[in-house]
Structure 1
Amino acid sequence: MNSGTALDHLSPDLARGIAALGLDAGTLTPPLMQYLALLHKWNGTYNLTAIRDPADMIPKHLLDSLSILPHMQSGALADLGTGPGLPGIPVALARPDIQVSLVESNGKKARFMREAIRVLKLRNARVVEARIEAVDEPGAYTQITARALATLSEILAFGGHLLAPEGRLLAMKARTTEVEAEALPAGWVVEARHVLAVPGLAADRELVVVRRGA
């Protein structure tokens, strides 16, 4: 798959970051460059993300999304409030064993993701254009993700019903979760907190894993 875009000069930077995460840069770089080019193009018209520079999108969007892969399981994933498909689309590209539902209520972002899925020929991703709490698929997912969406309690209030009994919430955070963890609703506990080392990104990042309590 050849990206063939004006952003090809960024391809080595992306490839180095992918390799630093221990992933296959040869396989992942071309489709992720296609996604980056689409995101940059659409962003000029539809304001899909506040990050305007595609060079900044590589660490802040693409590599950040890929950094959670070691902590993900096979099966069904709901990416809540995914925006333009982050982390869901990079995850779907890297892990064909994960079936990704991209949950987003914003029509422009949903249209962009449908086009990205078409262009990238992603067979393991679909768009669910709806508010999170309105998704009527109780217990259908082994995991849900949320990236800078809301507090842990709010994420569970919106989307906890989507998780299977043994399912997990994987919340991407800026290492500010001490208070949030203490405020979890009854029946939910923090299972683990993983520091995320994102190549090219100096910000503190962590993945908080939440499950139902015993």
Structure 2
Amino acid sequence: MTTGADTRNGSSDLDLERFQDLCQAVEIGLTPTVIKGLVAYRDLMRAWNGRVRLVSRSNGSRILERHVYESLLLARFLPASATRLVDIGTGGGLPGIPLKIFRPDLQVVLLDSARMKTLFLREVIRTMSLKGIEVVHDRAERVVSSIGATFDLATSRAVATLDRVWAFAQPLLRADGSMLSLKGPGEAEKELSGAGLDFKEHVFESKYRRVSVVCIKQPQ
């Protein structure tokens, strides 16, 4: 399904076309409103990437295809009942902002310690008029006392090893909460060996690369 076009130069938007094809292959339904929001976010990332390293320069033309697509893989595992999500080490808003655009009912907290990246996140929220989303400029280990165990879900992507991210996430989660993380295939078993945690790993493969969604639930 390739319906997007970049009309600025009269040329096709290959990033959008490939992104839509990838989402269709894993049955992630994209409404016109969601597509519009994701493209607007992509364009803001491109505009800021020269000042703040949000993604690698080599991936600047593939933000939807590479970064947003992988973020939306987590949407397949979001419980319909979930209401609050914290994105730990969100960087440029991945995966938190794509998930917010896809699930506007979620209350989202974007947590990062890099000042310039949090300035970008606030600009995204302002420019796109996003509601129910907050930016916290701090380290995860320092916000537990102020935020508390109030979240249904924690998310992470390219932050640290899973055992370390879980140590940050667990105090922020409700008793029945869980963490969803993006990793390379096989990394979860290596990073969680000896941690005594039950986890599930779901591997997704496209013609571009393989990626895993790792789910860890609060011990009962």
TM-score range, shorter chain: 0.7 to 0.9
The 1:16–1:120 alpha-carbon spacing in structure 2 relative to 1, beyond 3 Å, is: farther
Q: CA deviation at 1:159?
A: 2.8
Post-superposition CA distance 1:148-174 (Å, at most 9, x none): 211121112223210111110112110
Alignment-derived partner of residue 18 in structure 2: 13
Partner of 1:193, secondary structure, is strand
2:98 maps to what in 1? 90
Query: Are the aligned partners of 1:59 and 1:201 in contact in 2 as well (CA < 8 Å)?
Result: no
Q: Please state how far the C-alpha of 1:15 moved relative to its aligned partner.
A: 3.3
Alignment correspondent of 2:208: 201
In structure 2, relative to structure 1, the CA distance for the partners of 1:58 and 1:200 (3 Å cut) is farther
- In the TM superposition, 1:42-57 aligns within 5 A as 42-57=48-63
- Per-residue deviation, residues 43-100 of structure 1 (Å, max 9, x unmatched): 0122222244433222221111111101012210000000000000000000012211
Extract unaligned runs of 5+ from structure 1: none
- The answer to whether residue 120 in structure 2 is matched with residue 109 in structure 1 is no
Report sequence identity in percent.
29
RMSD of equivalent CA atoms: 2.3
Residue number in structure 2 paired with 1:169: 179
Structure-2 separation of matches of 1:7 and 1:89: 28
Letter of the 1:105 partner, please give it.
Answer: S
Q: How far does residue 201 in structure 1 lie from its aligned partner after superposition?
A: 3.0
Corresponding residue for 2:147? 137
Q: Is the 8 A contact 1:174 1:205 kept in 2?
A: yes
CA contact (8 A) 1:51 1:57 kept: no
SS in 2 for 1:196: strand
Distance 1:5 1:167, change over 3 A: farther
Counterpart position of 1:179 = 190
Contact 2:169 2:179 in 1 (8 A): no
Partner of residue 68 from structure 2, selected from 49, 62, 65: 62
Please give the alpha-carbon distance, in whole angstroms, between the structure 2 residues aligned to 1:68 and 1:82.
Answer: 14
Q: Which runs of 4+ in 1 moved over 6 A?
A: none
Looking at structure 2, the residues matched to 122 and 21 of structure 1 have their Cα atoms a distance apart, in angstroms, of: 27
Q: Tell me, what secondary structure is at the counterpart of 1:102?
A: strand
The residue that corresponds to 2:131 in the other structure is 123
Structure 1 partner of 2:3: none
Task: Return the alpha-carbon distance in structure 2 between the equivalents of residues 147 and 6 of structure 1.
Answer: 33
In the superposition, the TM-score normalised over structure 1's length comes to 0.87
Aligned pair count reads: 208
Normalising to structure 2: TM-score of the pair? Answer: 0.85
**Which of 168, 180, 186 is equivalent to 1:158?**
168
Q: For 1:113-170, what per-residue CA distance to the aligned partner results, in whole angstroms no more than 9, with x for missing partners?
A: 1111112221132111111111121211011011121112111222321011111011
SS at 1:86's partner residue? coil
CA-CA distance at 1:4 after TM superposition: 7.3
The letter of the residue matching 2:208 is L
Contact residue 86 and residue 110 of structure 2 kept, 8 A:
yes
